[in-house]
Structure 1
């Protein structure tokens, strides 16, 4: 006789040995006891029981009887869960009356998972906006289809008297889509400025609600309504706004160091902070290849033959501070 093994499962999901033995017993009407040595679970679960007239044989319990027993157990479990639900509800019902409900939409921080929920929150904030919308858009040139989708929202807001101010990186100036977008908003309360680098995306409405990314792939966001947090973000925006260059003005072309452009001066400061090429490219809204081209030109101008020597030259010439 083989060694018996434990079968940690219920009758609703038999092991392979149990299925074979139970099927054989149903077909033949009985099963030799030694044939069930690898499926002792069938006896434990009551699917097989000894034949009173011949103890060396096992008789199968009908599937209908097994099913009825299992369903009865499930119904009993459901009834017990419902009873526990009633007990819990009764225990805390008296506390519910003491809890003053918060006004709808006043949660200090709300996590928005998925693009549909993010867009729905943005639509709601735009619909409620009455005075001012502040926006920071990183990542360089804005795709034309994205701007086309945003245009109806912008027209709706400015049509209601909302003032719009938006910050982009300098790279965004070279996208034709932005010029077309602003042309259709011309003559309205819309202002655009650019910087070498900006923060991550920020949407701020009436200084009461802000939406910021919560994941690098934009799959989730945070909706902030806490007054202190919203005011802090508004202050950050205003400080960047004062440093930014209006779209109607030219971007600084060079620094006071001969041969070093304004952008290369910004890259030098980011290199001095220890950032890798990919990070610098993302912050400036340019490709990694373009970023490395600027770094190579900067090294040539400063007479550096290695990355370490370039860092030393940047510090010596005072290029480690961000230009205004």
Structure 2
């Protein structure tokens, strides 16, 4: 009998079909309460996305659960303590999207600072016929601060160096093997740079880390980019900073209540908004899907998972 998988996120049809050759796949959103209650005791595996939630309450409802396979790097939505208590293996797909996310961070930085989206609208409206577009800040040679210098943060730093930028960073501890300036306080980091790029992990430790004080320190010519987790940035503080000119602009690929984005944010001209797509290249997504499958296949074959989290 095929092991039963509960799919919590939408996946490409081709991948669902591939899974279906080896597993009994059930779509969580297609089940009503009665159907879910009947299915729950049979579920041995869960497949979910990095921005989804697998709380203690759901884990407790699945007594046969053995593995949660996350499509993505982040797993802050998974209750790891509950998973440990219920002896549930958690896996993710790390390292595959690093380059894509880093290049997207630089794309957002350039779009926000050089106002590329607004300039495109300027041309389409026919405004160019009435005069030139206003000048924008220079990016080359600027100062960039990276919040979280893990794999993605380091890849951003490499790209920033190609733009002649001075790189500084904050994190739990300094990395003496890297040639960048370390700040032990995010506010101090923000005060010393032109561009602040958030690459930190989500979770309670970083919740609301980018707050009013940090944005005030970044200043009226500063640009914020977030390709990490929406929870890291205090959205109300960011709205205030953008509206009142306390920072110049922002580029956001992640939000606190995805896929819902604040109408107030959407109304602002000085923020570039994208739908959590930094890692969404064809090559990377396929590699991530392959790793999700490989982790599931290994587990149910009685072998160690390839990329365990716990």
Shorter-chain TM-score above 0.5: no
Which TM-score applies when normalising by structure 1? 0.23
Highest RCO, 1 vs 2 (Cα 8 Å, sep ≥ 6): 2
Which TM-score applies when normalising by structure 2? 0.24
